[in-house]
A and B are shown apart, each in its own frame.
Chain A
Amino acid sequence: MMPIERLADMEEKLRILEDLNMIYIRQIALSLKDSDIQKKIDYEIRMREGACKLLAACSQRDQALEASKSLLTCNARIMAYMSELQRMKEAQVMQRVARRSSDAGPMDDRSPCKGKVAISDLRIPLMWKDTDYFKNKGELHRCAVFCLLQLGGEIFDTDMVMVDRTLTDICFDNTIVFNEAGPGFELRVELYSCCSEEDYSAGSTPRKLASKLSSSLGRSAGKKMRAALEPGACSATSNGGGATILLPVPSVQGPKYHLLAHTTLSLSHVQDSFRTHDLTITGNEECSYWLPLYGGVCCRLAAQPHCMTQQMMSGCLRVKLGGEPQGWTNVYGVLKGTNLFCYHQKEDMEAKVEPVLTIGINKETRIRAAEKDPHSKAQNICITNQYGGEEVTHTLAADSREDTQRWMEAFWQQFFDMSQWRQCCDDLMKIELPSPRKPAIVTPKQGSLYHEMVIDKSDDIGTVTDILARRIEEFELRAQLGSPPHWMALFDEDPPHTPQHLPPHSPSPRLHSRQPRSPRCQRTPGLLSSNASLTSDSDSPASVSPCFRQAWSPVASSSSGRFRPRTLSLDAKLSTLRGRGYNGFRCNCQPPTASSVSPRPTQTALSCSSSTSSSSSSEGSNSQESDLGFSRPSGARRSLRILRAKLDPRNWLQSQV
């Protein structure tokens, strides 16, 4: 069997296994009468399928990285839900066993209240060699990184950040809030990274090979082999190998993230300010995804137990105010956080009126039930606090015995929670809710002039012309015989002199030959209108870019274009030209932001910008045509060119088959 067929067979088996496991999982969920987790698992599986499809379909590197990240997160979540399901099943079985054997003790363990745990402002310092950082030479080794945060059954991922040696720290701006965390929580922070090298030159061979294999598009056989051969290809997270059998991960092409570092945070790490924690680093310098981490992670870990934020108990009480034994005042008491607030009436609390009396309930407070008061039906509750060396006791009474019991119970629970949550109960820690996230702006790298030019809004047209003028000098040096792009005629109001006919099948067109004939072109001052969305129209019919030399007779218009200073903006001319239907290869100039056309006696920049962009586009289309007969250019360069051509949406891509 051919290796590809064997792989397809394996995939078939994996799929069957997956189906069987899904049935098993559903049975467990059914027996637990818990449909919640089932729904969550189903949802994550759907998300995962979507991510796989997106990964297979997308062609841009950034999209692929994002999709791969979503895939990893989905997998982690599925693992977490499944292990939770298993645990619940085990717990159920254990309970049944315990009940049957009658040695189960009284179940009066108090359980602490849950709380919110928030982690924010993650910052991981990097430790580049100072030579790397300051010299900034050579190819930029870039990695895409993100953090996966897991607490209990909740898993969140941060946004993806591209890291290269110009960064000193990896910063994640996200605030992640976990809602139902117990005081014994374990927050696992994992840093994943994926090499994102676009340069195929230099570097260590394994890295180069690895990046080639993982980032080349369309090499399905090689990718499948690699995914199958790679150890641990099936496990997206480090959650033990056993779980991977349950729901095997479909092997997909595309960038793969690897675990770079991890750490586990718990209650002792919670503080209202920033702290640095140690990171355990997996991986070494040989790995493609390696980054020189300093070894720590700085973040703010805050916790808000529910006992601090929610009303734990409320009801009507009577307070003895003043020294008189008969001075009972009716109040509405609310136990929240470290205080018992007593309001005149319930409505006051809702109206946020100041309470009549506030009794502190904290670690130092002592509460006891007093002897039965002969005048009342129930016991009194005495709350004693130390206020600056003095002991102050408040006496409260509830309406009935049950109420007293409930209040005492609430107080005990509060004390218990405070002992469990420790430092979190001293003061309420602020947690900022994350604002709705803006979608990450993905700018694909394009090989056109406008992406190589950096123009500030404050720059004037002068900067643009300077850049373009520089370009034209480089360009002129390379000018050879060949007809100028036909859009040159836009700047010529005279009718074209002699239409140029290019030979229909010119041999091996090289980049240079596409450029206009400099000797003949008199470059009188003229300025490229930055507005020019140059279309391939001119006075001559069926004009076609020289890039596209096929059977249609390329009628490039006048080569000897004279450029005259334009006093009017080109917009008018261009709009008329656009109005006419055009047939042919559109020249690729995008209108940038600068708007005015100032006639200046600088060299015409027209030709250079268009030629640069048409050179990028011709490079795209050229790559496939540049050979005669059946020879193909080398694979790597070809795929790189195809990638560039694909990224440029203004190209009309052609592929050789």
Chain B
Amino acid sequence: MAAQAAATTFNGNLKKALAGLRRINLEGLRWRVFDAKGQVLGRLASQISTVIQGKDKPTYAPNRDDGDMCIVINAKDVCVTGRKLTDKVYYWHTGYVGHLKERSLKDQMAKDPTEVIRKAVLRMLPRNKLRDDRDRKLRIFADSEHPFGDRPLEPYMMPPRKVREMRPRVRRALIRAQKKAEEQEQGGCQRKGRKREAKTEVAA
């Protein structure tokens, strides 16, 4: 296939990326590309889920699945706010008594960063019979390579966002961290000159 020949640069799970493509009929769908670099996880997932459901088209019908194919790249560069990198925990139960397993966001990103976005989007879709088909339309890649280069791709522009200003405690912590970084830099370059006076200045 031309797709597979052109995608030899894509080292990754080619089989997984192209899995189930034959099951999706109606190739009048668009292929939208989402760049997850620097995007906040939940807000990105919300936009992806509207596109996947086909809710940005005037021909939306709730009983049939007419969403566009979504490709997400740079999944490992997706951001979260607050302390979620360590504190957000994914739980699942295996079915055996007492076997509630957990894994934090950090470990999940180390293990498989695509699962983070996939879980986020899947949990935003309505729980009905179309959910599995919609899952099949979503292709996520950890870096910026993907084997769909020869399709007519359209990049998706995220809507502009109002970032609220920092809470005072967080802002103070940020300022303190910046000052500390400056002090370390100054202390580092003046240690070569071995000037104790400079150190006392910095400490004051």
Answer whether A and B are interacting partners: no
